[in-house]
Amino acid sequence: MPHFTLPDLCDAHADCIRVAEPIFHNYGGKAAFGGQIVTVKCFEDNSKVKQLVATPGQGKVLVVDGGGSKRHALLGDMLAEQAAQNGWEGIIINGCIRDIDEIRQTPLGVQALGIHPMKTDKRDLGDINVTVTFAGVDFIPGQFVYADNNGVLVATKPLVV
129 inside domain: yes
How many independent structural domains does the chain possess?
1
Q: What is the pLDDT of residue 4?
A: 87
State pLDDT tens for residues 8-30: 999 999 999 999 999 999 999 99
154 inside domain: no
pLDDT above 60 for 1: no
H or E stretch including 10? helix 6-12
CATH number of the domain bearing residue 76: 3.50.30.40
Using alpha carbons, list the distances in angstroms from residue 115 to 52, 98, 127, 160.
21, 5, 23, 32
pLDDT above 70 for 94: yes
Q: Is 79 annotated as a binding residue?
A: yes
46 inside domain: yes
Q: Is 62 annotated as a binding residue?
A: no
Q: Is 1 annotated as a binding residue?
A: no
Q: Is 76 annotated as a binding residue?
A: yes
